[in-house]
Amino acid sequence: MSTNTTAKKVKVRFAPSPTGDLHVGNIRTALFDWAYARHTGGTFLFRIEDTDTTRVTDEYIQAAIDTLKWLGLNWDEGPEVGGENGPYLQSQRLDIYAHWAQKFLDQKDAYHCYCSPDELEAVREAQRAANVAPGYNGHCRELTADQIAAYKAQGREAVVRMRMPDGSTTFTDEIRGDVTFDHKFVPDFVLVRADGSPLYTLAVAVDDVLMKVTHVLRGEDLLSSTPRQIRVYQAMGVAIEDYPVFAHLPFVMGQDNAKLSKRNGEVSIAWYREQGYLPEAICNYLALLGWSPGDDRENVTMAELCELFTIDKVHSSPARFDMKKLEAINGDKIRALTLDEFLKWSLPFLNKANVITGSDSEIALVKQALPLIQERIVKLDEVPAMLRFLFVKDFKVEEASLSKVTDSASKDVLKRSLAELTPLTTWNHESIEAALRTSLIEEMGLKPRIAFGAVRIATTGSTISPPLFESMELLGKDASLARISAAIAL
């Protein structure tokens, strides 16, 4: 079968079934879909596959919408945006699927199947025993009117099943090349449940056709559903040249080489967001999971991704998720923020951690302090701990560092510091540093780590803080001296 390579305007869709928050794997797919649409000047369509009403909730649907927005993966057709092929929630398209299922029945491409779950299980059991491929055995394919009447009289309800002809399906996957499925392993499949609700295979194929999707880029886990979808296109009467092009993205494995799961990194994007990962960092990192720009660069902006993303640069071998690399990229993206951007991203974390209440004076001080930590953090959730000392009302030295300021050598350092700093008339990091260096390092002969360590703990409460002299400048003379006095008294 030839694939559709004519110069038709590209339309790519992202079609999640939000049965939970979107995860790394979903978002990698969304990102590649989006990037391909943007690269080709095509359309990015977003469709919610919510026909499984027992598992998809309104809350998860909204979370999926919010996540795409937060990541900057804007769509041209879909929820909230609309478009000429809507509605974009499959739960609002049930009449469309019912129409096609009926048409397939009328055409004899599909048939009613009255087999009960117990009977189907017995068939599977027999297949297992005989060591043959599992799947529906075609029992109801050619029922007579009498047999149907008898089943109905028993009160049986029917599902609608698609008839798979003998033979095989071959299609060209843009990443994997030609892929063939022998229909021996693609048994007749259910299109509509007994309660009338459509199954994924029916809805996805009907929608891809009606919504004029040209490219299906999605995870490799869906590769095996492709022959069934192609069967639906055939039954719909779609010409081969109008089938979408398929490209199945490689699996994402965890660092331990096992399939990505909660245990090895496959947590929701909401979690990464709470941890203080920037959307650009997540997108940059996910872009490199199974794709490369053609050189070994690791820093890719969204604009570069759009410019460079082509399917031929997607790998066919599995990608490996590496949390350390994601962290490193996040640190790079934080360093690349302007001060105003860094402020915008940091404030919600400071508010949430109750470090600030959000007053103008607090925000002004945060803005002065942020440049001190921009080089030092890799995630935004580190900001509150780093800056808390500037705002805290009942300041205390952290428990773990107490012993490092209460010994007699530290007390000597603090007493000398207090004596040298008290007379300073100009309070800035240069004057503070000069005073402390002369007295503690040159005159007392201490190592900087020992000398400044005690002062750091006394004034910021912790061994980890922004640079000391700048921190003391921002804290102010009165508070700095009061904290040093308090530490001496500990």
State which amino acid sits at residue 6. Answer: T
Distance between CA atoms of residues 191 and 110, nearest Å: 9
Residue 306 labelled as part of a binding site: no
Give the helix, strand, coil percentages of the chain, each rounded to 5: 50, 10, 35
- Indicate the Cα dihedral angle 137, 141, 146, 152, nearest 10°: 70
Nearest-approach distance from CB 218 to ligand GLU, in angstroms: 4
Q: Do you know the residue count of the chain?
A: 490
Sheet holding 43-46, edge to edge: 43-46, 11-14, 215-219, 245-249, 168-173, 177-182
| Closer residue to ligand GLU (CB): 218 or 231 | 218
Give yes or no for residue 204 binding ligand GLU (CB under 6 A).
yes
Question: Which positions from 207 through 236 interact with ligand GLU, judged by CB under 6 A?
Answer: 218, 222
Residue type, 297: R
Residues 6+ positions from 122 with CB-CB distance below 8 Å: none
Q: What phi, psi does 5 have (nearest 5°)?
A: -120, 10
Find the part of the chain contacting ligand GLU (CB under 6 A) among 12-20, 254-262, 360-368, 398-406: 12-20
Minimum separation from the CB atom of position 86 to ligand GLU (A): 17
- Taking the complex as a whole, the smallest distance from the CB of residue 210 to ligand GLU amounts, in Å, to 14
Whichever of 52 and 298 has its CB closer to ligand GLU, that residue is 52
Binding window for ligand GLU (CB under 6 A); candidates: 9-17, 260-268, 380-388, 403-411:
9-17
Token code pair at residue 261: 């799961």
Distance in Å, CB of 53 to ligand GLU, minimum: 14
Of 255-294, binders to ligand GLU (CB under 6 A) are none
| Residues acting as catalytic residues | 262
Range 42-61, binding ligand GLU (CB under 6 A): 49
CB neighbour class for 83 (10 Å; exposed up to 12, middle 13-18, buried from 19): middle
Q: Tell me: is residue 262 an annotated ligand-binding position.
A: yes
Closest distance to ligand GLU from the beta carbon of 135 (Å): 21
Q: Name the nearest CA neighbour of 244 among 486, 3, 489.
A: 3
How many residues contact ligand GLU, by CB under 6 A? 7
Nearer to ligand GLU, 49 or 473 (CB): 49
Please tell me whether residue 17 binds ligand GLU under the rule CB under 6 A. yes
Which of 15, 199, 413, 440 is the binder for ligand GLU (CB under 6 A)?
15
Q: Is 115 annotated as a binding residue?
A: yes
Q: To the nearest whole angstrom, how small is the minimum distance from the Cβ of residue 362 to ligand GLU?
A: 43
- What's the number of CA atoms in the CB half-sphere (13 Å) around residue 84? 3
Q: Residues 161-200 vs ligand GLU: string with x where CB under 6 A?
A: ----------------------------------------
Nearer CB in complex with ligand GLU: 204/282: 204
Q: Report if residue 16 touches ligand GLU, rule: CB under 6 A.
A: yes
Contact call for residue 63 and ligand GLU (CB under 6 A): no
The amino acid that residue 383 corresponds to is V
Between 200 and 452, CB nearer to ligand GLU: 200
Contact string (CB under 6 A) for ligand GLU, positions 103-122, x = contact: --------------------
Candidates 10-18, 51-59, 420-428, 460-468 — which segment interacts with ligand GLU by CB under 6 A?
10-18
Smallest gap from Cβ 305 to ligand GLU, in A, equals 20
d(CA 349, CA 274): 9
Q: How far is CA 348 from the centre of its chain?
A: 20
State the Cα–Cα distance between residues 355 and 390, nearest whole angstrom: 9
Cα 229 to chain centroid, rounded: 27
Q: By C-beta, is 261 or 422 nearer to ligand GLU?
A: 261
Q: Longest C-alpha distance within the chain, in Å? A: 108
174 is in an annotated binding site: no
> Least Å distance between CB 195 and ligand GLU?
20
Question: How far from 75 is each of 11, 68, 70, 84, 88, CA to CA, in Å?
Answer: 11, 9, 12, 14, 12
Q: In what order do the strands lie in the sheet with 110-113?
A: 110-113, 159-162, 189-192
Q: Which of residues 17 and 401 has its CB atom nearest to ligand GLU in the complex? A: 17
Nearer Cβ to ligand GLU (75/111):
75
| Residue 283 is labelled as binding a ligand | no
Which parts of 274-425 are beta strand (E)?
319-320
Give dist(CA 325, CA 480) in Å, integer.
Answer: 38
Classified as helix, coil or strand, 189 is strand
Residues flagged as binding site: 113, 115, 140, 142, 262
**Residue numbers belonging to the annotated binding site for ATP:** 262
Residues that bind ligand GLU in the complex, under the rule CB under 6 A? 15-17, 49, 204, 218, 222
